[in-house]
Amino acid sequence: MKKLLLAALLIALIVVAGGLWLIRTNTLAPDATASLDGDADAGALIFAAGGCASCHGTEGGSEEERLVLAGGHAIDSDFGTFYTPNISPSEAGIGAWSLEEFANAMVRGVSPEGQHYYPAFPYVAYSRMELQDVADLWAYMQTLPESDTASRPHDLPFPFNMRRGLGLWKLRYMPDGWVMTGEDSPERGRYLVEAVAHCGECHTPRDELGGLITVDWLGGAPNPSGEGSIPNITPGALDWSAEDIAYYLESGFTPDFDTAGGSMVDVIHGTSQLPADDRQAIADYVKAVPAVE
């Protein structure tokens, strides 16, 4: 009897240990970023494509204020309200971080303290980024103004305030590759759309646990920030030419010379700064993704 009990206890321990191992924070190899040398000018373009200032810059601010990455934007979700953190190069932000820590935050969703980030921070997309681009972005962000505004804690009810549980979420939803595979997938456009610009975060619907439903990739979704919806931008709904799309990303004008509204205005603020080839690459990719009807 005692033996049986001991065996059960042992099994329980193994299950718990196995479980803890499964939901551990999975960081990069220690030397993954050691040889990288970031280029701030290249990083400025990554910063623009990623639209970092949309969520972390001063809301409704001037061009200069947008580059003060004090955070504080509220992101409403079914799980509670997230507040974007200060990511300026100050003590209150990420000034004390190393490149390795920044890279783990970006591509693994793990904080320097070894905690999981909530996927409101789009590391699911960034996990597909090249580490050189992460290093360039890091170099650029060092050049931005400092803000000493303290990051506001998220406002999440139990059980969503348990960060450890995010390990399970990551097991289920962290991607191990591209959404659009196959030879006809335009590589540069795919990199920009699926990784850096994280278009799918808003344009793809989510399941009840907040994971992206990738079979409906870019097929449109309810607007997380309130009324209306984010449009389907696959060929199933969007009949613009690639040139129309590229021009929209440059100027904000639709083919009818209406303009973007909502958070897409911030996105276009970023894409208008990219080389024309990159806007064309995004457009070519959007034209090539499978149609969602």
Partner 1 sequence: MLITRLASLTLAGAVALSPLTATAQDGEAAIEAREGAMNVLGLSLGTIGGMAKGDVEYDADAATAAAENLAAIASLNLGPLFPEGTSSDDVEDSRALPAVWTEWDEFQSQWDDLGAAADGLVDVAADGQEGLGAALGPIGQACGSCHRQFRQSN
What is each CA distance from 288 to 69, 187, 192, 195, 283, in whole angstroms?
A: 35, 11, 14, 17, 9
Please tell me whether residue 169 binds partner 1 under the rule CB under 8 A.
Answer: no
- The binder of partner 1 chosen from 259, 276, 277, 291 (CB under 8 A): 259
Contacts 24+ apart (CB under 8 A), 191-195: 191/128, 191/130, 192/49, 192/278, 192/281, 192/282, 192/285, 193/218, 193/282, 193/285, 193/286, 194/125, 194/128, 195/125, 195/126, 195/127, 195/128, 195/129
- The binder of partner 1 chosen from 40, 236, 253, 284 (CB under 8 A): 253
Report in angstroms how near the CB of residue 49 gets to partner 1 at its nearest: 18
Report in angstroms how near the CB of residue 262 gets to partner 1 at its nearest: 4
- The binder of partner 1 chosen from 43, 89, 252, 270 (CB under 8 A): 252
Give the tokens for residue 221: 């979704």
Q: Which is nearer to partner 1, 137 or 268 (CB)?
A: 268
Element (H, E) at 224: none
| Count of H-run helices and E-run strands, the chain | 13, 4
By CB under 8 A, the residues from 183 to 242 that bind partner 1 are: 223, 226-229, 231
- The binder of partner 1 chosen from 132, 142, 185, 263 (CB under 8 A): 263
Q: Which is nearer to partner 1, 185 or 263 (CB)?
A: 263
- Do 84 and 56 meet the contact criterion of CB atoms below 8 Å apart? yes
- The binder of partner 1 chosen from 37, 182, 239, 257 (CB under 8 A): 257
By CB under 8 A, the residues from 18 to 77 that bind partner 1 are: 60
Report in angstroms how near the CB of residue 35 gets to partner 1 at its nearest: 40
Q: Report the C-alpha gap between 189 and 281 in whole angstroms.
A: 4
Query: Which segment (10-18, 130-138, 199-207, 243-251) binds partner 1 by CB under 8 A?
Result: 243-251
Q: Which is nearer to partner 1, 224 or 290 (CB)?
A: 224
Using CB under 8 A, list all residues that contact partner 1.
60, 223, 226-229, 231, 243, 247, 251-253, 256-263, 265-266, 268-269, 272
